[in-house]
Every structure is written in C-alpha cells, then in structure tokens.
Structure 1
C-alpha cells in the first residue's frame, strides 16, 4: 500500500531510508469454535492445494460467517501485509490485505483505509482488481481482494529487462481501458506504476492499490495533495499546481517507457535530480524505440496537463492501430519473450544496439531470447586471439595477467575457453590494481583506436543496486548475483544468502558469525532486521543499474565472503570497492559506470553506458588497441579514485 510520504524509488541507489521500526509478528485473532466446518471444507476442497495454508492461522469474518485459512505471504506495504486467504465456504483463494490496528491508531490513518475501501468496493472491471469484502476483528483490519497469481509487471520486467512492442500494446491497451473505467467513476488513481499492475492466470492486467486514489467531487476540481511514486509523479503534482485525471495519463507514459526501455524515463541516482528532470521535462528515448511508440510516449509526457491526450485518443493512436496487437499472451512471457507471427512492416532495433538478444528468422517471424547479456549481438563467443602481435612493452606489464613471464602473457591459453573465475580466486590489493591501471593508461594509444575486441560471456560481479542511509545506519548493497548486504557505520558488515535463509555477519575485527535468518542472536537481531528492510526495499523498488548479467548458479561465483569493503562519494561519482578487489565507479550525471575487476588471471574493464549497455574489455587489449574517449576519461578518473583509496583510505586486502 502506498503512502503519502514520498519514498525515493530509483534504480541505482538513493539517499535516505524509512525510519527503523520493529514490526510485530502478525497475529490473527481466533473466533469462537468453528466446529467441524474447517476440517470438512478442507477435505472437500476441489483443485486447491490446501497444504499451502496453515490450519492454525484461522481468520473469521463474523459479518458473513466465513472462515479463512491464511496462506503464503504475497507482499508487504507501508501499512499492510498481503497473504493468500482460502475461503473455506467456497474453496476460493483470495488476496487478503491484513493491517494490524496499531498501525492505524490515528484517525487519519483509519480514514485512509476506509477511503481506499469505499473507492474500490463498487468497481467491477476486467482490468481492475476485484473487491470481495472488508471486515475487522480485535487485532486486525482485513481487505479481501481478487488474487492475481502472476505477481506484477515489475517482477516481469525484472526477469525480462525490456518487453517487445506487441507485448507493450497488449498490456498498455488493458491499462488504458482499466484507467478509463476508473476515471468514468470520477476516481483518480494517482499511483499508476509497474508494481500496481498485477497479472492474473490469463495474463490480463489488473490495476491495484487504491491507497492514494481520490474522488473528483465536481467538474474541474483540482487536487493539491503531493503524493505518488517519484519516478511516475506528474510535474503539476510535484509543483502543487493542482492536478486531476491528467496525472494518470502522465504515469501511463512513464509505464510505457519503462516497459520498452527497462527503466522509468526520469529515473536518476538521487531524488532531487529526478524531481529536477520531471519539472524540466528532461528525458531521452533510445533510438531503437519505434517512431510510433516514441510519439505516444512524448504525447503522454507533455509538461502541460491540458495538452496530454485523452484515454480515448490514446487507444486510437497509431501505436495501437499500426502494429501487431496480440489477443492473448502465454504465461511463459513472464520470463521469456514470446514468438510472434506477424506480417507487414516491423520496426527493429539496429544491429548496433546491444540490447535484448535478438535473432532474425524467416520474414514475418521474430524470435527474441531472454536478455541474458548485453554484449555484441554478432559475436556469440569470444574469438581467439592467437597470433596477436605482442608489443615490446608488454613484458614489464605482465602484472596485468598476474604471470611471471612475457611468454605466458599471451591470450592463446584463454581463447575458446569458457568464462570461468579461478577455482580459488585470490583478492587483489588496491595498490596492485592501481599499478596495473596506471601502466595501462600510460602505454595505451591515445590517438589511433583499433576498436578493441570485447570479451564475450564474461561473468562480472558488481554492485547492481545500492541505498545510502549512512546518516543513521549504513550502506545497503545488492550484487549482480542477487546477494544482498549492509556495510554498517561501525565497519561491520552483514550478508544475506541468495535463498534468504542464512546470514553471515562479520564484526569490526572480521570475525564471522553465521546463523539462520529466522533465528538471529539477540545482539544481532536489530542488524538482521535492518538487513531485511534494506533487502526488501532494493528488491521491490530498485531496478538493476545495468544489463550486465551474472549467472546465479555458476560454480565460479563466490558469494559467501564477497561484500562491499569501502565506499565514498565525490561531487561527480560514487566509488564502491569490493572485498575481492573489484573497483566500481558510478557517475551521477549520465549514470555510466566503470568496473575494474580481476578474474581468470587477467584484469578487465567493464563499461556500462547511458543506455545501461555493458561491454567488457581485457586490459591487455586496451594497451594494444586503445579505447573510446568516454571510456578513457572514466578510467583516468577511476585511477584518481583508486589512488585516494590507497593513499588516504588505506585499503589493503
């Protein structure tokens, strides 16, 4: 459930974090004896796997004499937790928002819940989450809603990174129709975003969460409340100029952009910069987005609300009428792009676009595989480098690959070999990395660039998400293999396993304490709770800062001990130093990133550009061939940051 206080929801970290509070365990009050109804109904359930529901978690609605069994947790919000709820009278499964009454003890908090109920309870549309019932007991308030098994578009985008235009037509058409129905009932949703677009079993979109919705009482009324999600908030809302239905049109434009590009149009590393870009209407659409899609997005994101198109006009837009618009989508498209049989003109991404992996088949058939990596599309494997000329200065630079002789420094032993880390990777010191980077910058050609060969299928571990709350607790981070952790202000660090079940804690002396996430030691309970808060926030609200993928189940990934060791900010960038010797620099102004890493007995430079496309080069090749000016400038800046770590921070591993 959304809240009126605006949290920062950005892809590549943000400053500030919700205040720490200890959530009590959720308890359900038990009614009087329910007799033999529960066991009888459980035996008679048809098509329902009742083993997923806890018979001890009984919820009773005395108004309708209905008994529910509480099932798995579906999600958490500012006020509520959402669970599956099995109706023992009908054997139907619903989604139940459960709000503990201590969270709505103040009158305005309860009024907010009641407003949400009153706005949603009479809505009935195929693209709006259906309202079922509302009741309360001594401890909790319950809102029972339609259950959408396939989660939301934000989870779909997390797996897919971007969607194809036929899919976007399918989803956006349903979103517009659902929003049109809501507006016809004089309701402004005010929080349309990917996370509030749920999917049912038939892959139909359902608009959810009316926690920030409001009713327009008379024609021309303007609302003044500043609310919503920063990446989707309209400029008239932000500037308190008064807003109405047009704010939802703006949000739909942001949703469409995010589905096609992979992130919202005004997303930045800081909330302040995001708001500046919204008020200045400053965003860019990648060249590979089709002209019709580009045109519709631009119309919806018109700064003046009265100039935005109506929902009826949007449905008649050329984007919907000129391209393939599927009648349905398979559930498999939640994780893998579907194959469409179409005819006529299809706008395709240019070959130079290193975006979601594509292969063209017969005319009219397009196959798009999962975007596992964003490297060169025309090169499926790393080409052999045997026979490359080794320059005279290469021997003293043998430190680049950690070898002791010049003959061993050729790349012939790596050509056509799988991209694996060392079986027992040893972290490199910051001083050694500085020495290698300095040598590379001093010897690489500056004027003539031979287009160095990228390294394909490289597995790089890097910080894909971060949250800076160091003014109170510490710095939260998520690595590209989805492991999460917190570097606390006292220099201790805590890491959550990939399955979320175990925790590793390193105290200020580096001593390890491993324990189950559900049963932390008493002295680490608060830090474990903070870890879960950081992890939940990054998982639900932040998007990967680049399309450089990492295999989650590869044996060459060392998860347990790898974590953030040091970080600091400058006016230009944030610098992140991992415990395996990897240096990462995220630049604020254009959101590009440079990652310097050591693997397979070699040093590598990974560049993530403004469109979040990642390319990895061996430093050996950069010494021979040089690199683009934008990469060279960022490598030079990274050297000064690394020198700061070595000389001032005293990093040693």
Structure 2
C-alpha cells in the first residue's frame, strides 16, 4: 500500500458554481459543434494566443482508470469496487469487497503507465517480493489480478491510516508510544533483512495501522532483493527526507540494508520532534543536510538523553557505524515505559496513564511486544528469490505471470471482518434503488407521458387522476466533477456527493448517520451505514468532501424549497448537463429539470405528476394531464410551458432507449 493522499479541497469560485460543463457519469447531450464553439470561446477568453505556460508533469497515477463496479478475476473470485481511498505517484487505491462482504484495499496501477520493460519488471518485482512476505507487522498480500486497463494488487485494508496521519493529528508522540511503534518496526525490518529484502522507502506514510492498532509496513514499490553474492545496490531512490547519505552517492558508494536502519532513525526523530530531522522546502538543501548530518534537537521539545543517543547512532554518516537491527533494541532507551498495546484513543490524543507504567511492568510489556513482533522467532525462511517465470506472462496481452497470481489462492486469503474495519457498520441486506427498476421506470415514465399527451378529450372522464404529493427535489448543487464529483442538497436537507467513481456518500440531516452507496451496475446500490461522529478512517476523506460542499452550499446558495420530512432514502442516480437544462434522475423514480431561465420541472409518479418550481420558489404540483389540457400552471404561468414539457419527455425518452 502506498502513502495515498487526495488533493486538498480547493475553494470554489463563482466560475465553478453551477456553471461548469464537466465530465459527468453520463455523456452530455450538447452537440459537438457547440462543444467546439465553447472550446474556442474559452481559448479566446483565457488568452490562448499568448505564450502557453509549461504544463506540470502529470502523475502516472492519473492514467489509472476507475475500475468497473465489478472486477472479475480469472480464478473466479469477483470483487465489488468501493470507495476511492487515495493516490500516490504511481497508483490509486480503492476499496474492494468480495461476495461475502470482506473488504480489502486494491492498489490499482494503469497498464498505460507501464511503458517499457524496466517499468514492468519493477512492478512485477514489487508483487513478487510482497507476495513472498508473511509477518504480523507487514501489510498482508492477498492477491493480484488484471483487466484490460489496470493491474490490481489486493491487500489487507488498514482502516486507521498511517503514522504520518497520526503525527499530523498529534503533532508529537510520547516516548512510550514511540517505543512501542519502533519495536514493531524493528521486528518487521529484521524479518525483511532475514529474507534479503531491503525496503528502501521506509517512512511514516508507508506504515499503517491495522484494525487492532498494530503497525503494518506497506508499499514495496522500491524494495529490492539483495542476493547472497551481492553486497550493494546502486539505484538512487527513496523519499528525500528519509534517504540515507550513501544512497545519494549512487554508483560511487552503493547501499545495502543499512538504509533501512537510517530510516528508522529519521522516523523516530520525526515522531518525537514533530518533523523529520533534515526537513526543508528545498530538496537540495535536504540532501546537503543529510550529507553533513546537519540536524539538531529543538530545545522546546522534550526528548530524553537516551532517545537522542539512539537517534544519533542510527543517523551515523558511515553505514557501518549504525547499530545492527539486533542491536537497536538493546539500547537503554528501550528500558523505559512502554504500553502492552495501543488503543484507538492514540489516534486523537495522548493515551491515559502512559507515563505511569512501572519499570517492572514495562519490562513485561516490552517482552510481550517483541514476541508479537517476531523478535524471538527463528529466521528459518529462505531468502526471497525473483525467478524468470515471475517476470514473464504465459498469456498473450497479459501482464501478470501465472506464478504471481495462481489459481489456487482461494483458500490462502487472510480476510478482514468488515466489522473490524473502523467502527461497526450496518449493511442493508438488499440492494436499494436497483438499476433495473430505475431503467424500467425511465421507460414507463416516457410511455405514460406519451399516452397522456395523446389522450382524447372524450376519454378524460375515464382517466383516474393520481394523488399529488410534492416529490423530493434537488435544492442546491455544485458541479466539481473535475476533481471530486457532483454535490447536491435535497429538499429533505440531506446532502450527498456523487463521486466520479459513480458511488455516493449521503449524509442525513439532523442525524449522525451517513450512507456509503456502492454501485453494482447489474443490481443497484448497496448501502453501508456508519456514524459520522467517529467514522471509519477510509471514509473520512469522502466525509471531508461532503462537509466541504455542505459548508459552501449553505453559505452561498439559496434553497429551491422549504425543508420537508424524509420519508424514504433518496439520492441522485445520475445527472446530465446540456445548454438548455440540467437533468437530475433520483432514485425514487423522479426526474428533475432545471432550465436556464430558473424554472424547474419535476416529473414523478411514473410520468403522471408534474411539479413546477418558479424562480421565486413558488411550488405547484398537479396531474400532468391537467397541465397538458390547460396549457399552463394555474398559480404561476411558465414561459413556453408545453415546449418545456416536450423537452422533458424527449430527454426521458433518450434515457429509456439509451439513445
């Protein structure tokens, strides 16, 4: 698992408000000619004649296409794509759920980013190395598979994020907590080095918390196997703040297992002080500081002499002067207080009683933590070997060799109980708002509108007028699909975001509950209910986006109608933007059209009822047949009313027949 981070939320300007013709989950109905004209206008407006600014280098992760809602593997095990978790430089990460409800993290790499044999070998080596590892403090490798556009590395999900997020929240950690974390890291690194694996990218962002708050080292994208006959690697790689000085020497010096020892020192310093020891905004300054071991302990930070002594030895310029992995835990610093376990309260604040652990209890706890980290386990595992068969696929057009994704992995899964992922969830047993029913509703709505339109006057008496209830309406909206998705507020005051991966997060008004609505295109949306008071960590990014949009809409946009009581769960299925209107399809079967003159129509009850919302928020709901016969609404006339209704009917027809 990489250190995935979404881009920070950017403020919305007036140009982005309800005005962007952006990529949506469905194709826009605007004509190609208009699109070309709009592009030309935009170029003139932006001064395209002027010298263009150099483009920023695009992340390779941007080539990664959103996986389909169902990812099918060749071993017969299918996965349902869930929420987007974040991205790194090379990959994007999504939730994946199997048929039994087990949730995993899928590191997704675009095949388009694998442009040469070297890149392919690097990816396959990462898979081979990670697949070969089994340790309580290493992220568990589940499987790997591919489709036409992506390679998926399926991993144990770590719901409490990473040490980096913890440090951002806490600013600094106590020495007892850091002692616990460093013991687990040392146990994992001892295991890696015993298998002849150098991680080479150890950093706070690559060390994750499992459901039980144990650390797990992940992201083996830069890892390398050092064969017994070799003593050095020469590739310059790593993250600037954590790179060891000998790595910067490149082919002149080479590097070995000691680079991971160095990284332990950097992480230990960062946890106790609040930032890495050589940090600077200028990367070249960082490198100069590393080469000169130019760091100090701030006088305002309480760091014990024992901790300082260990950090200074770990950050020795000469790799041979650093303690070995076995020597680290023998330093006096590890004789101090240490908890037996870490609890979730650590994520938000200093744990209670952490400083009052007796020396005797600390010794017992230390031995317990070391045992759980495999310190006492005999290293009888053979070194990891990368074979030729691990780098060459047996099938045409396939990237993954059979050796890396064998068909008999079905019984080798270590699956995570979804109840352990963050806080307990309630998963509704049935799909809600099935796509099949909604597609049928599209067709029925169009057919009913067509029948009503052609109903003869002499047959009006036999037509049973429908009951007219005001439907749930989209009250406010913001199209920010160029980054996150489409946000909206309903007339119930519930707020949702239809993300670009076509899944939805819906936050209920006057409630601490929210729903993750995960789309299966063949069935519908399965709803996962959670509390927004203390949500699972993998949902926090999405909730932050929802709250961001909610704050913006409440501050800047006016409502379409007054609040109304929620009678059922309703959310936005999809939307379409044209030059005339924006069309909302809601999961209660209604269709809302916001015309550019600020008049709004909503067709409900399978095409038999129409609601008009005027620019001044006046609302009238009537049987459609009466409006067609009268020619307009009685309370407030709508400009070109019948023409607008024909536009609505034709748009629904296109959806019904998928034109």
TM-score by length of 2: 0.46
Question: Higher relative contact order by CA 8 Å / sep ≥ 6: 1 or 2?
Answer: 2
TM-score by length of 1: 0.46
